[in-house]
Structure 1
C-alpha cells in the first residue's frame, strides 16, 4: 500500500473525529507538494461537510492552491464544488464556483460540473441559482449537452415558466443539441401538471413526423392527465395511437389511468376499467396486479365506499399474495377516516395473525384516529402496545398524541408526553413545536409563546410558514396588529423590523434568523386582513389585499368573504357587491359565509325581496343554509314587523332538520310580545324549552317580556317555576315584578315571592324589600312590615360581613402576589394580468366614499427545551 492510500485510510479512521482528521490533513498537505495527495480531497471534503465545519470548508481551497500546482489544484477545486452540490449545499457550491471562475478565467469548468449544480439546484427548488448557472454557461463559452437543456427545461417547468421552457426546447437544435425522448417527456409532464394537457398533446403532434422516438412514459403522462380532466375520449384516442405506433399499453398505462381517475374522485369510471381488466381477456388487456388492486382500494376508501372496499379486500385475500402491508395500511386509513375505529383495531389484530407485522405508520394511523375522536386514554394505551411490540414511537406518534391533549386543553398531560418524548431520545420537530406554540396562544399565554419562539430559534428549529402564521394570528388576537404586520414585512424583505425599544415582541422579530426563509402565504394575509377588518381598518386591509396580489398570491373565498362581511356589517352594500363581483370574476364561488353576510346586510336595509332571491340562488347552487342564515332572515322579518313570515321560516328550519338555537326563538318571542300576542309567544316558549332545554336564558327572556308587557300574573307564575328549578336570577327583572305587584295592591303575592327567595337562600338586591315594606306600612300591617325590615337588615349585615372577609382575603392575596390578586390566578393576557385588474377594481370601487398586562403562569413546556440541544 503506497503512502497516499495509507493517508486516505487514516482519514477514514478519523471520520468520527473530524477536527483531528482536519489537522492531520493540513499537516500532511502543507509538508508535501506531491499531487498524489490530492486524491484525499474528496475524502476530507465529505468529512468536513458531514461535520458542518463550514469555516474549514472555506479554508480548504486556499490550502490546496498554496500547496499544489495550479493544474492539479484546479481539478481539486472542481471536485470540492461537485461534492458540495451533491451534498445539498448549493449556495456554498455556487460561491466556490464563482471563486474558481475568478482564479481561472481562461479555463472554464466542464459542463458535467454545471450539470451537477443544475440538478442540485432543481432538487433544492432554487430557480434563481439555475438562472445564474445558465447565464454563466453562456458567458464561460461552455457547450451545453442535451442533458443540460433537459435540466433547464425541468427547472422552468417546475417554476411555471412553461412557455420559456417550450422556447428553449425549440432552440436546442440551434445550440447544437438534439432533443431526446426525455426532453419531450419533461416538457409534456410540465404542461400536464399545469392543467394544459391540450398543449402537451399539441407538442406530441408536432413531433410525430420527427425521428424522435416517443416512449410509453410520455403517452402515460398524457393519458393520466386527460383522465383527471374528465376527457376520457381523448385518453382512448391516445391508447389507440400507442397501438398504431407499436407501443402496446401495459399495466403501467392502465394503472396510470385508474390512479388519475381515483385521484379526482371518478371512482366509478376507474372501477369500470378495473373490471374490464379482470374480465375481458379477448381485448388483450393486462391483468390487474397488486398495484392496481391497491390503487382501487385507496380510491374506494377515499370516497367512503367501504362496502366496495370490503368486497375488493375479500378478492385480494382469495388471490393469496395480494394482501401486503401497504394494502392493510390503506384499509386502516379508510376505516379510521370513516370513524370505524373498532374495526380498525381488529384489522391490527388480523395483521399480526397473518404474520404481517404492523409498522410505525400502521400505529400512527390508529393514533391519529383515536386523537381526532378525543379518545386519549385509548391513544395512550395504543402507544404502550407499540412499545411492548418492540416498535418505538417516532416524532409523528408523540406529536399526534401531544396535539390530542392540547386540543382538549390538557396541558399538564401534554407536558408529560413531551417529557417522555425527549427522554426517549425522540427529538421534537417544527411540527411538534408548532402544536405547543398554537396551544400557548390559544390559552392566552402570550409571553410563554414569545419565549418558545425564541427557544425554537436558538435550538436551530426551522421556523416555517406555519410557525409564522401562528405567531401572526396570536398577535392579531392579542390586539398587536401593527407588530403582526411588521413580521409579514420582515418575511418578505429578509431584514429585522425596527420595533420600539422595550417592546417584548421586538426580541422575537429582531432575533429570529430563520423566519425570513419562508414567505407569507394566503393564510398569512387572510389572518392580517381579518384582523384589520374586525377593528374597522378597512382601508389598510385593502392595501394588504393589493400587496398580496402584487406578490402573486391569489386570494381565496375566505379573504373575499372577510371584506364582504365587514361591508355588510357597516350596511355598505354597494361596496359589498363590488367585492362580490371581483370575487366571482377571479373564479371564487360564493360560500355559505358569503350568503350569510349578504343576507345580514340586506336585512339591515329591510330588503326582504332581495333576501328571498338569495335563498332561491342558494337552492339552485346547492348551498345549504345553516342556523345563522335562518336567524339573519328571521331577524330581518321581525324587525320589519312580518312575524308570521318569520314563523314560517322557523317551520322551514325544522322541516329541513336544522335545529333552531336560543337566538332563533328569542327574536320571535320578542316580536310576538311586542305585538301583544302573548299567547303565541308562550306557545313558542314551550317549543323552545323542548328544542333547547330548560335554559335560564329562555325563562328570563319570557319572564322579562311578560313583565314589560304588563302580564303580571303570568310573569309571577313563570318566576315561581324558575325558582322551583333553582335557576339563576342574574337576567330576571324580578324587582320590576315585585314593584308592579305592590302597585297593583297584590302585596301578599309580592311578599310570598320574597319569602320564597329567602327560603331558597337566593342572593338578591335588598332594595327589593322596600316596596313591600312600604305597602305593608300603608296598609297598617306595621308588625309584618317591621319583621320584613329586620329581615332585610339582617341579610344586609350578613352580606357586609361576607364582603369584609372577602376584602381581607383579597388583601392577603395582593400582598403575596405583588398586587395582582385573582388576575394572576386566571393569567389572562388582554392584552399576472388578473392580479392587476383586481388591484384596479380594489382601488377604484371597494368602499369608496363610505367607508393590563398580567403575569403568566410558569411555562410547562419550555423547561424541557432548556435542557435539550
Structure 2
C-alpha cells in the first residue's frame, strides 16, 4: 500500500504540467478501494494543481468528493483544501469549503492555522467585514487565537481606521495568553503613523523597550518617516541617533524616508544636503540608490531647481540609474515647470536611448499641452504615440476631453468621446465628471441631470467629485437651497442624495452599497456651500454650516476662513471679518493675500487709510507680501481723499519692491490728477503708462472721459481722434457728450469732423450722436449737409447695429481680449523695462518728477505713432 501511495504522489507531481490529466488520474484512483487511501495523501498536491490552474468546476467536484469520504478523512482533507484555496487567492472557494467543514463537523472546531489563513486572505483582499465574522466564529468554536491571529486582526482594524479598537485588542492579548511580539508592535506603530499620530507610535516604541521586545529597522524607519512628514524634523533626527544607540544602523531606506518627507514639506535644500552627505565616501553613510535619486529628482523639479535637476540627471546617466520611471519624473518635472518643448525632446531622447516610453509618459506630455491650451500639439503627440504602437487609454482621451471642455469647445469634446468609444475605450467616472462639469459650466442643467441618470444606470460609481460638481453647478445656477438639501441628504444616503434632483437615484441605488455609503460631504463640499451662502449674503446660515462641518469632523482650511472674510467685507460687516482673521491666527491657519486684500479693500471703502497702512504692515509681519491688488486698493483710497502725492509714493514703493503695477494702477492716478485739475501730471502718467503697456483702450478712455468731465474739450477731442485712428472700441468713450459740447461751444467743424472720421473708419455708432450736429447745421442754413447726415443717421438706426468699433472686413480677423493683450504684451513689456539695466531708474525717475510737482505745462498732443506689431494687432482687431 505504501508503494501505491508513493506511486500516486509521483504521478500527481509529474503530471502537474497537464492539470486535466492529473485530475483524471486522481479521480480514477480515488474511486478505487485499493488506492483510495493513498490518493488522500495526495490531496495537497492535487489541490495546489487545480487551484493554480483556476479549474473552478474541478475544485467544486473535489470538494463534493471529499464530503463523501469517511468523517476523519473528510475533515482533514477539507481543511487542507480550504487552506490551499485561501493561500492561492480563491477566497470565496475557501469560505465555501470552510462552511462545509463547520456544518459537517459542528462539534469539532477547525484548527487555528485555518482561521489564520482565512483571516490573512480576507485582509489581503481588503474584505475587512470577513475578518470580523471569522473572528467571531473562532470564539464561538472555542478556538484560542495565537499571537499571529491577533497580529492579523490588529492589522485589519488599523487598515479600517479603527485604531482605538486595535489598541484595545492589543491590550487584551495578555488576557488570551498571548504575548505581543515585534510584529504586533510594528503593526500598531505603523497604524498610528499612517493616521498622523506619530507620538503614540513613539510611546509604543518606549513600551517595547520596557517589555524587553527589540525594535527593528523597519519600525524605526516608519517612525522617522512619519515624524518627517509631520514636519517634526528634530524629533526624527533624535530617532536616528536612538536607532544607532540600539545597535541598528540606518540604511538607505531610512535616508530615503527622510529625503522624501523633507521634499514633501518643500524643504528641498535640507533634503539636498542629506543627499550630498550620502555621496560623501568619508562619512560612511549608505550610498544613494536609484530610488534615492528619483526622490531627489522629483524634489528638485518641485522646487523649480531645474539646473540642479539637470546635474542630477547627468550623474544618474553615468551610474545607470536613468530608467523609465526616472524619465517619467523628468517629463513630469519639465511639464510642471512649463518646459513643454524640452519635455518633447526628452520623449525623443528616450526612444534614441532604447527606453520605450509607456502610456504614462505620453499622457504626461499630452496633459501638459492640454493644460497650456495647446490642444493641436497634444493631438500630434497622440498621433506619435499611436504610430509607436501604444494605444490611447481612457486616461488619454479623458485628458483631451478635459482640454476641449476647458476651452468651451463642446462639439470637439463630443467628437473625442465618440472616437474614444470607437476605439474600445469606455468612459470611467473621471471622464463622466469632466463632461458633467462642462455641462454645468455651460448652464445646461437638464443635460447634466440626464448624464447623471445615465451614469447611474450604467453602473458608474457616483463619487464625491461627482457630488461636488453637482453642488457647485447648483450654486452657480442660483439653486443654492437645492444644493444645501443634497449636502444634508449625503450624510444619510451618500451619492444617492443626488436623487433629489428628480432622477429617483435613491430608488435606483442600493443603500447597502459600501462605496456609496462612503461618499460623504468633504471639505470641498462645505467650501462650495459656504461660498454660495456668503455670496448671497446669508452669513448666518454660512456660520451654521461652518459649525456643522466642524461637528462632523471636517476640518476647515484657510480657504473657508478667507471666504468668510470676503463675505463679511462685501456686505459691510468689517468687525466680523476681523474676528475671523483673529480666529485664523489662533487656529494657526496660513494667511495669504486672499486673506488680507478684502480687509484692506473694505477699510478703503470706509476711507480708513491709516488703518489700511497698518494692516499692510501686519500683513508683511505675517510673512505675506502685498501684491498689486493690495497696493491698488490703498492707491485708490488715497486718490479718493485727495492724497495724490502719497499715491505716487506708493507706486514708487511698488517699483522698488519689484511689484509690477497694472493698467488699473495708472488709471487711478490719471483720474485723481484730473480731479485735482493737475492735467499736466495726468498727461505724464498717461504717456508713461502707454510707453509701458502699449496703446490700451482702457488708458485712452479714462483719460478722454476725465478731460471731458473737466471741460478740457479740445484736449479730449485730440485724444478721441487718436483712439479713432487706432480703431479702438469706443464703447467706453463718451463721444456723444463730446459732440454735444463742441456744438454748444460753436465748434461745429470739430464735431462734424469727429462724426466724419468715425464714419470713414466704418464705426457703427449711436445714431443719437448725429442730432446736435444736424441741429447746428440747420441753424446755420447748411441744409444739404444736414440732410446727408440725417440720411446716414437713419441708415444706422434702421440697421439697428451699434458696435462702437470699425465694421470693415478686417474686423473679422481675430482680436485678442483686453485681458489677453495685457498678458501677451503689457506685463511682458513692463517686466522688460524693469529688468533692463537702466529700466528701474527710468521708471522711478519719472515718478520722482510726479512727486516733485507734475503739472508745469500744457496737455501734449497725442500723435499717432508708427505702427509696430502690437499696434497692427490692436488696430486691425
- Provide the C-alpha distance between the structure 2 equivalents of 1:79 and 1:520, rounded to a whole number of angstroms: 45
Q: Displacement of 1:758 after TM fit?
A: 3.9
Residue of structure 2 equivalent to 1:536: 537
Q: For the Cα contact (< 8 Å) 1:169–1:179, is it kept in 2?
A: yes
Are the equivalent residues in 2 in contact too, given 1:468–1:515 (CA < 8 A)? no
| CA distance in 2: counterparts of 1:156 and 1:368, whole angstroms | 39
Deviation of 1:231 after TM superposition, in Å, equals: 5.6
Q: Is this contact kept in 2: 1:490–1:516, CA < 8 A?
A: no
Pair 1:307–1:471, CA change in 2 (3 A)? same
- Report the alpha carbon displacement of residue 185 of structure 1 after superposing the two structures with TM: 0.9
Mapped partners of 2:145, 2:425: distance in 1: 46
Quickly say closer, same or farther: Cα 1:667–1:309, change in 2 above 3 A: closer
Residue correspondence of structure 1 range 123-202 to structure 2 within 5 A:
142-158=143-159, 162=163, 165-202=166-203
1:483 and 2:492 equivalent? no
Which has the higher mean CA deviation after the structures are superposed, 595-604 or 161-170? 161-170
The residue aligned with 2:323 is 324
Q: Which moved more, 1:531-540 or 1:352-361?
A: 352-361
Report the secondary structure of 1:518's partner residue: coil
Matches of 1:688 and 1:465 in 2, distance apart? 48
Task: Measure, in 2, the Cα distance between the counterparts of 1:642 and 1:121.
Answer: 75
Distance 1:412 1:763, change over 3 A: closer
Residue 732 of structure 1, CA deviation = 2.5
Q: Which moved more, 1:163-172 or 1:362-371?
A: 163-172
Q: Relative to 1, partners in 2 of residues 1:462 and 1:96: Cα closer, same or farther, differing over 3 Å?
A: farther
Q: C-alpha displacement at 1:797, in angstroms?
A: 3.9
Q: Deviations over 1:363-385 (max 9, x none)?
A: 22222333333332332222222
Q: In the alignment, which residue of structure 2 is the partner of 1:301?
A: 301
Name whichever of 288-297 and 597-606 sits farther off. Answer: 288-297
Query: Equivalent of 2:795, from 793, 798, 803?
Result: 798
Question: Is structure 2 residue 289 aligned with structure 1 residue 292?
Answer: no
Find out whether 1:217 has 2:218 as its counterpart.
yes
C-alpha distance in 2 between matches for 1:354 and 1:158: 42
CA–CA separation in structure 2 for the residues paired with 1:517 and 1:486:
18
- Name the structure 2 match of 1:451: 450
Partner of residue 810, structure 1: none
Most deviating of 104-113 and 209-218: 104-113
Q: Is the Cα–Cα contact under 8 Å of residues 48 and 84 in structure 2 kept in the other structure? A: no
User: Larger deviation: 326-335 or 489-498?
Assistant: 489-498
User: What is the TM-score of this pair, normalised by structure 1?
Assistant: 0.76
Tell me the residue number matched to 2:661. 660
1:82–1:113 contact (8 Å) kept in structure 2: no
Shift in CA distance, 258/759, structure 1 to aligned 2, threshold 3 Å: closer
CA change 1:512–1:667 in 2 (3 A) is farther
Are the counterparts in 2 of residues 88 and 124 from structure 1 also a CA contact under 8 Å?
no
User: How far 1:752 moved relative to its partner?
Assistant: 3.2
Distance change in 2, residues 1:735/1:342 (3 Å): closer
Partners of 1:108 and 1:616 in 2: CA distance? 75
Indicate the residue corresponding to 2:848 in structure 1: none
C-alpha change, 1:527 and 1:332, in structure 2 (3 Å) is same
Question: Does residue 408 in structure 1 map to residue 373 in structure 2?
Answer: no
Partner of 1:389: 388
Evaluate the alpha carbon distance shift between residue 159 and residue 754 of structure 1 in structure 2; reply closer, same or farther with a 3 A threshold: same
Q: Which moved more, 1:507-516 or 1:522-531?
A: 507-516
Q: Which residue of structure 2 lines up, in the alignment, with residue 311 of structure 1?
A: 311
Distance 2:77 2:485 in 1: 48
CA contact (8 A) 2:597 2:629 kept: yes
**Alpha-carbon distance in 2 for matches of 1:221, 1:692:** 55
Distance of 1:729 and 1:307 partners within structure 2:
49
| Mapped partners of 1:496, 1:198: distance in 2 | 36
Match of 2:804 in 1: none
Alignment of 1:66-81 (within 5 A): none
Deviations 1:230-283 (A, max 9, x none): 6666555544544554434444334434444444344444444444443335x6
Whether the 8 Å CA contact 1:278–1:287 is kept in 2: the answer is: yes
Q: In 2 relative to 1, CA 564–119 (structure 1 residues): closer, same or farther, beyond 3 Å?
A: farther
Cα deviations by residue, 1:487-544 (Å, 9 ceiling, x for unpaired): 22232111798999xx965556765667654111100111111112111222222222
Flag the 1:178–1:505 CA change in 2: closer, same or farther, 3 A. same
CA pair 681-77 structure 1, distance change in 2 beyond 3 A: farther
| Contact 1:325-1:358 at 8 Å conserved across structures | yes
- Residue 505 to residue 538, structure 1, CA distance change in 2 (3 Å): farther
Cα deviation 1:96-115 (Å, max 9, x = unaligned): 99999999998877766765
- Determine if the alignment matches structure 1 residue 336 to structure 2 residue 368: no
How far is the alpha carbon of 1:545 from its aligned partner? 1.5
1:442-841 pair list within 5 angstroms = 442-494=441-493, 505-507=502-504, 511=508, 517-778=518-779, 781-782=780-781, 784=782, 786-799=783-796, 801-802=798-799
Alpha-carbon shift at residue 546 of structure 1 (Å): 1.8
Contact 1:638 1:671 (8 Å CA) reproduced: yes
Residue 562 of structure 1 and its aligned partner are, at CA, apart by 0.8
1:855 aligned partner: none
The C-alpha deviation readout for 1:289-334, integer Å capped at 9, x for no partner, is 3333333333333333333333333333333x43322233333333
C-alpha distance in structure 1 between counterparts of 2:691 and 2:441, whole Å: 35
Change (3 A) 1:277 1:648: closer
Query: 8 Å contact 1:49–1:84 — kept in the other structure?
Result: no
1:595 CA drift (Å) = 0.2
Shift in Å, 1:471: 1.4
Given the superposition, is the C-alpha separation of residues 792 and 748 from structure 1 closer, same or farther in structure 2, using an over 3 Å criterion? closer
Q: Which has the higher contact order (CA 8 A, sep 6+)?
A: 1
Give, in whole Å, the separation in 1 of the partners of 2:656 and 2:795: 54
- What do the CA deviations read for 1:187-223 (whole angstroms, capped 9, x no partner)? 2223333444444333222322434233221122233
- How far apart are residue 147 of structure 1 and its match? 2.9
Q: Structure 1 pair 329/735, CA: closer, same or farther in 2 (3 Å)?
A: closer
- Relative to structure 1, the CA distance from residue 119 to residue 492 in structure 2 (aligned partners, 3 Å threshold; closer, same or farther) is farther
Unaligned runs of 5+ in 2: 1-6, 21-39, 802-877
The one-character-per-residue Cα deviations of 1:772-811 (angstroms, maximum 9, x if unpaired) are 3444455xx32x0x2244224423443465359xxxxxxx
Against the structure 1 CA distance between its residues 371 and 171, is the aligned structure 2 distance closer, same or farther, given a 3 Å change threshold? same
Q: Is the 8 A contact 2:705 2:734 kept in 1?
A: yes
**Number of aligned positions between the proteins:** 766
Give the 3-state SS of the residue equivalent to 2:424 in structure 1: coil
Separation in structure 2 between the aligned mates of residue 46 and residue 317 of structure 1, nearest angstrom: 41
In structure 2, what is the Cα distance between the partners aligned to 1:770 and 1:357?
Answer: 74
Distance in 2 separating the partners of 1:537 and 1:426? 45
* Cα separation, 2, equivalents of 1:525 and 1:407: 24
> Cα deviation per residue 1:84-137 (whole Å; 9 max; x = unaligned)?
9998999x9999999999999988777667656765776687878867776776
Q: What does residue 845 of structure 1 align with? A: none
TM-score scaled to structure 2, two decimals? 0.75
CA distance in 1, matches of 2:652, 2:583: 36
